[in-house]
Structure 1
Amino acid sequence: MRYWLMKSEPDDCSIDDLAAMPGQTVAWYGVRNYQARNFMMRQMRPGDRLFFYHSSCPQPGIAGIAEVASSAYPDETQFDPASRFYDPKATREQPRWFNVDVKFVAKTRLVGLPELREHAALENMRVLAKGNRLSITPVDPDEWTYIVEQLLERKTDEF
């Protein structure tokens, strides 16, 4: 199993929105960065766990736990001229952008960037790297365990 941090703007899809969706599942659409896309296509597998991270908001941070619920498949928004994610170079025969489905596991207390930065055990976490703007980043298993057990005060096997 791998671990991830996936950023979502809560105005678009918050952890509460995810919990309220049919099947508590959403397609993780709109990723337009090749490295993030490649994480979904080449490394993510159903059952992988992720921190659901609220971004571009007054209080960014980890807001919940979710899991990867599907293998990667073409992102439909790339084909829709009315979508802000439309890509005129993408075709159904050669899609450029992919997404995975993400399923709700649990809402957590908000663990913000300042709190994450306070912990030496998390100093190499990619979301904390200067200039990091990726919407999807891998999380080291030790970082996952530390956050779950020390900051969320839960047993790792709960998530």
Structure 2
Amino acid sequence: MHEHGVTWVTGAPDLVAAVRSAKQFLTYVASGPFQYAVAEALRLPDSYFEEFRADMRAKRELLAGGLEQAGFTVFRPAGTYFITTDIRSLGESDGFAFCRALPERCGVVAIPNAVFYDHREQGAPFVRFAFCKRASVLEEAASRLKGLAA
């Protein structure tokens, strides 16, 4: 295996699957090129970061409110751009099935949280939505999701 972007491994299928899982969850992206961006960002004025935080908070509240109106139980995050929801309040319990059907039901996508659990059944009723989008996209998603509550 190589730590800078290109990864390869050979072995028994079950071992390769284990390595692939570890790679997926431990090294989401190769971070080397981002070091230059971080250095530049550190030179930005505090006002940039204050405005960024305010914008993300507003987007979080916009989507969280829409999800609540649609009938989800919403867990507001403090430090990410994903909102985790509980779908049991919608009469659902299988996050994988829910997420597979959601685009056809209302043109919105979500991620089943169970993919992040060692014991997938524990994460089954939870799905997450990203709010790092334009406000107009979030407003449209909230509008489309309202149909789920009916």
The normalised TM-score by structure 2 is: 0.28
The normalised TM-score by structure 1 is: 0.27
Larger Rg: 2
- The structure with more strand, counted as a fraction of residues: 1
Q: Kindly indicate whether structure 1 or structure 2 has the higher relative contact order, using CA contacts under 8 Å at least 6 residues apart.
A: 1
